[in-house]
Amino acid sequence: MSPWTLLSLVLCLEPHFLIGDNRWTCLQGKRGVWIKLPIELVTLVEPAVKEGFYYHHAEPKYLMLVNWLPGTANTIPANATHRVGIGAFVINERNEVLVVQEKSGRFRGTGVWKFPTGVVDEGEDICDAAVREVKEETGVNAKFVEILAFRQSHKSFFDKSDLFFVCMLQPLSFDIHKQDAEIEAAQWMPFEQYAAQPFVHGHELLRYISDICSAKMEGRYTGFSSVPTVTSFSQKNTYLYMNGNVRTNSRDDPC
């Protein structure tokens, strides 16, 4: 019997499991019950909600519901709280920075030149996302160097918080082939010209980022390099981002 057939039986055909003084007796010792409903069984949402389940999160192919059983404070973790984005500071040997103008969004038609930016995909490392976004938007191949800084903001995308990482990349190619769907224009621009834009001067956060990039170019700032490692319990491959001034006996091949 599949889990979904069993769910149908429990919710729709076996009400004695759910109703009355013996409610949830089959789950003694459990505090939380999760139901992962595939999209083809969406009709089971209503009977589940009537039995006390509520939405936890949704993905394109399923809906996750949960029910907290005891009459105590609910300790079930909330859904994902943050979205992660990157901005790519790509600087060549002539101190020219790779910049773009966007076709849509808040920068459309403003004439503002900005760093390539984008959202980190699910399961994607920050360093890989920066390389990918630069390639997608400009056609330039680049190598991740460091995370220079990051910013946290709240009530951003669907009321979720946002983490934005400013990444420094080294260009491996220089010819630009812009993404026509999203990018109006792309070019290599002297960094001083980028930093002198009124839009950059008029926004405190962008001034901070510009100052950090300038300090990095002058050798007065050190960011966080990616160090491959593994997690403590699951032994999954992961990256630790650490200050480049620290030296360890671990592997030092960056992302």
**172 and 63 share a domain?**
no
- Rounded distance, CA 164 to CA 84, Å? 6
> What are the φ and ψ backbone dihedral angles of 143, each rounded to 5 degrees?
-115, 130
Same domain, 90 and 35: no
Please name the residues in contact with 224: beta carbons below 8 A apart, sequence gap of 6 or more.
Answer: 146, 147, 148, 241, 242, 243, 244
- Decide: residue 1, CB within 10 A, 0-12 exposed, 13-18 middle, 19+ buried: exposed
Q: Give how many domains the chain has, as a whole number.
A: 2
Residue 101 sits in the same domain as residue 159: yes
Domain of residue 11 covers 3-68
Q: Say which CATH number the domain at 25 has.
A: 3.40.630.30
Kindly name the residue from 136, 182, 184, 204 that is annotated as catalytic.
Answer: 136
CA 63 to CA 130: how far, in whole Å?
Answer: 30
pLDDT at residue 24 in the model: 54
> What does each of the 255 residues of the chain score in pLDDT, given as a tens digit?
354 554 554 554 444 444 444 555 555 667 888 888 899 888 888 888 888 899 999 999 999 999 988 778 888 888 887 889 999 999 999 999 999 999 988 888 889 999 999 999 999 999 999 999 999 999 999 999 999 999 998 987 777 888 999 999 999 999 999 999 999 999 999 999 999 999 999 999 999 999 999 999 999 999 999 989 988 888 888 899 998 666 555 555 556
- The pLDDT of residue 20 is 42
117 and 148 fall within a common domain = yes
The answer to the question of residue 126 being in a domain is yes
What does residue 204 show for φ and ψ, rounded to 5 degrees?
A: -55, -45
Residues 185 and 102 in one domain: yes
Half-sphere exposure of 61 (CA within 13 A, CB side): 0
Give yes or no: 40 in active site: no
